[in-house]
Amino acid sequence: MPDTTNNPARKTWIPVPDHSDFPVQNIPFGVFLTRDDVITIGTRIGDTAIDLGAMHQLGYFEGIPLTDDIFLQDSLNDFISDGKKTWRLVRNRIGDVFDADNPKLRDNKEHRHIILFDLDEIEMQMPVFVGDYTDFYSSKEHATNVGTMFRGKENALMPNWLHIPVGYHGRSSSIVVSGTPIHRPQGQTLPAGSETPVFGPSKLVDFELEMAFITTDANNLGEPIPVDEAEDYIFGVVLLNDWSARDIQKWEYVPLGPFLAKNFASSISPWIVTMDALEPFRVETPKQEPTPLPYLQFNGKKSYDVKLEVDITPENGEATNVCKSNFKYMYWNMSQQLAHHTVNGCPVNSGDMMGSGTLSGTTQDSFGSMLELTWRGENPLKMKDGSERKFIQDGDTVTMKGYCQNENVRIGFGEVSNKLLPVFEPKKK
Ligand code: CA
């Protein structure tokens, strides 16, 4: 089943603005609420949202084996369970329907009115029900930076780091979609020089620039996924801001790793960009030295060139860019992460989400967290309005964007953008 959607020469009859993340070659998947308050699975071309539930009811997926209600759902989990062959058939068909030379929907005003929406007529929802969330720690630069700060230069990388794609089990109940405001968390911290902790609002709320992949049902209990088959079980990728409270983290993380410092919120971009759409942007993975154990050795190009950036926008203020990075810097690739995750027989299900870990590059302006950008607050960043930031302040909006670009086409992720609110205040009884 070849992919025909990526043909860079294809034009569409839907208007696509210059530099749009969503040309007809992208065809991502998401879930939205329509102007009629109906929840549906959809895609997007340019600034037009497309109701796949309505397209299916009107017969546009004829000949593809799909259940009648596959797109009339509040999550993509069942569609993702249908597997790679079906994803590709559906994506190819969408590309065909919106091809500039295909009159079927283009010239059917009544159907267009049912299927197409302006972006201001819809509200994006969580694209999947995330059953399990795992967060890796796969950027060598990030691990080295954080290790240097917490343990000194000589012990920056733990002895296991170059052998294992290190990760931990996160919490799926607090994964939210772009646009959802997030409260500053409270918790225990240990003030400098003190031997006993205090309780209160975190003073060091941070973002983590990450990407995350969404899996399909991959394996049964006991069954590992070989590294060179792993990509068959990855549906697609989103942007992830893995919000973190550094002061809470520092006090709690020994010996079992992060807990409440990380699970108060993780936010994702609403459109899942498929692995097929990313195919033209494969690049070599950073050289791995020492050679990993055989179950982590892979063939071919397993990294992806996705340009990433982070803006901070103060309340009523102007956006300031604070970071430019790239998904390709990640040391352990997604295939290795999934092979490692399942090598002990741990099952992975449809809708599971795996975070990359903070994606830092080698230069100061490519670090993927405030912790690194300001080096624990020692070098505050200047905002355009003249104010300074060591960490994220109440009222700040953190926006992450990402896109791939070659000479033919730009495939983007849109954005994940969330505002930090003050600590939650209980309603007065
Ligand atoms: Ca993280």
Both 98 and 173 in one domain: the answer is no
Strand partners, 54: none
DSSP helix/strand/coil, 59: coil
Q: What is the pLDDT of residue 248?
A: 97
| Model confidence at 429: pLDDT above 80 | no
Q: What tokens were used for 340?
A: 């490692």
Residue 77 to residue 308: CA distance in whole angstroms: 27
Last residue within a domain, chosen from 72, 93, 124: 124
Both 237 and 89 in one domain: the answer is no
| Model confidence at 1: pLDDT above 80 | no
For 320-362, what is each residue's pLDDT tens digit?
Answer: 999 999 999 999 999 999 999 999 999 999 999 999 999 999 9
Average pLDDT over residues 92-104: 98
Measure 281 CA to ligand 1 centroid, in angstroms.
Answer: 24
Measure 64 CA to ligand 1 centroid, in angstroms.
Answer: 38
Q: What tokens were used for 257?
A: 């790793």
Measure 208 CA to ligand 1 centroid, in angstroms.
Answer: 6
Measure 79 CA to ligand 1 centroid, in angstroms.
Answer: 27
Q: What tokens were used for 125?
A: 């929802």
Identify whether 18 is part of a domain.
no
* Residue % of the chain over a pLDDT of 70: 100
Residue 162 to residue 140: CA distance in whole angstroms: 9
Answer for the pair 305, 283: CB distance below 8 angstroms, yes or no.
Answer: yes
Measure 406 CA to ligand 1 centroid, in angstroms.
Answer: 29
Identify whether 400 is part of a domain.
yes
Average pLDDT over residues 164-191: 97
Structural domain span for residue 350: 133-421
Average pLDDT over residues 103-131: 98
Residue 159 to residue 15: CA distance in whole angstroms: 53
Nearest to 212 by CA among 45, 359, 20, 362: 359
Q: What tokens were used for 316?
A: 């009523």
Q: Decide which of 179 and 218 is more confident.
A: 179
Q: What is the pLDDT of residue 70?
A: 98
| Residue entry with tokens 């109940």 | 173
For 237-246, what is each residue's pLDDT tens digit?
Answer: 999 999 999 9
Residue 233 to residue 104: CA distance in whole angstroms: 33
**If pLDDT is split at 50, 70 and 90, which confidence band does 35 have?**
confident
The H or E element containing residue 206 is strand 205-206
Residue 397 to residue 314: CA distance in whole angstroms: 6
**If pLDDT is split at 50, 70 and 90, which confidence band does 2 have?**
confident
The H or E element containing residue 304 is strand 303-304
Phi, psi of 215 (to 5 degrees): -100, 165
Q: What is the pLDDT of residue 150?
A: 82
Nearest to 232 by CA among 302, 331, 160: 302
Q: Average pLDDT over the chain, rounded to whole?
A: 97
DSSP helix/strand/coil, 70: coil
* 343: alpha, beta or left? (left if phi > 0; alpha if psi -120 to 50): alpha
Enumerate residues with CB within 5 Å of ligand 1 (an ion): 135, 208, 242
DSSP codes of every residue in 407-420:
SS-EEEEEEEEEEE
For 123-156, what is each residue's pLDDT tens digit?
Answer: 999 999 999 999 999 999 999 999 999 889 998 9
Both 151 and 247 in one domain: the answer is yes
* 103: alpha, beta or left? (left if phi > 0; alpha if psi -120 to 50): alpha
Residue 141 to residue 121: CA distance in whole angstroms: 42
Identify whether 428 is part of a domain.
no
Read off the CATH number of the domain in which 96 is found. Answer: 2.30.30.230
Q: Angle at the Cα of 5 (from 339 to 210), degrees rounded to 5?
A: 40
Q: What is the pLDDT of residue 395?
A: 98
Q: How many domains does the chain have?
A: 2
Q: What is the pLDDT of residue 428?
A: 81
Both 184 and 245 in one domain: the answer is yes
Both 251 and 285 in one domain: the answer is yes
Answer for the pair 273, 321: CB distance below 8 angstroms, yes or no.
Answer: no
Average pLDDT over residues 8-34: 97
Strand order in the sheet with 307-313: 182-183, 410-421, 397-405, 307-313, 320-326
pTM for this model (two decimals): 0.97
Both 116 and 156 in one domain: the answer is no
Measure 142 CA to ligand 1 centroid, in angstroms.
Answer: 10
Q: Decide which of 229 and 150 is more confident.
A: 229
Residue 119 to residue 111: CA distance in whole angstroms: 18
Identify whether 16 is part of a domain.
no
Which residues are catalytic, by number? 142
Q: What is the pLDDT of residue 427?
A: 85
Both 138 and 44 in one domain: the answer is no
Last residue within a domain, chosen from 104, 124, 144: 124
Both 200 and 226 in one domain: the answer is yes
Q: What is the pLDDT of residue 119?
A: 97
Q: Which residues contact 254 (CB under 8 A, 6 or more apart)?
A: none
Measure 263 CA to ligand 1 centroid, in angstroms.
Answer: 10
**If pLDDT is split at 50, 70 and 90, which confidence band does 174 have?**
very high
Identify whether 4 is part of a domain.
no
Identify whether 23 is part of a domain.
no
Last residue within a domain, chosen from 71, 94, 124: 124
Both 158 and 83 in one domain: the answer is no
Both 111 and 190 in one domain: the answer is no
Identify whether 63 is part of a domain.
yes
Identify whether 220 is part of a domain.
yes
Look at 253-257, 302-306, 366-370, 378-382 and tell me which has the smallest mean pLDDT. 253-257
Burial 380-413 (b: 16+ CB within 10 A, else e): ebebeeeeebbbbbeebbbbbbbbbeeeebbbbb
HSE-CB at 40 with a 13 A cutoff on CA atoms is 23
| Model confidence at 186: pLDDT above 90 | yes
Residue 1: alpha-carbon gap to chain centroid: 27
Measure 70 CA to ligand 1 centroid, in angstroms.
Answer: 32
Q: What tokens were used for 42?
A: 């959809």
Both 117 and 239 in one domain: the answer is no
For 265-294, what is each residue's pLDDT tens digit?
Answer: 999 999 999 999 999 999 999 999 999 999
Q: What is the pLDDT of residue 410?
A: 98
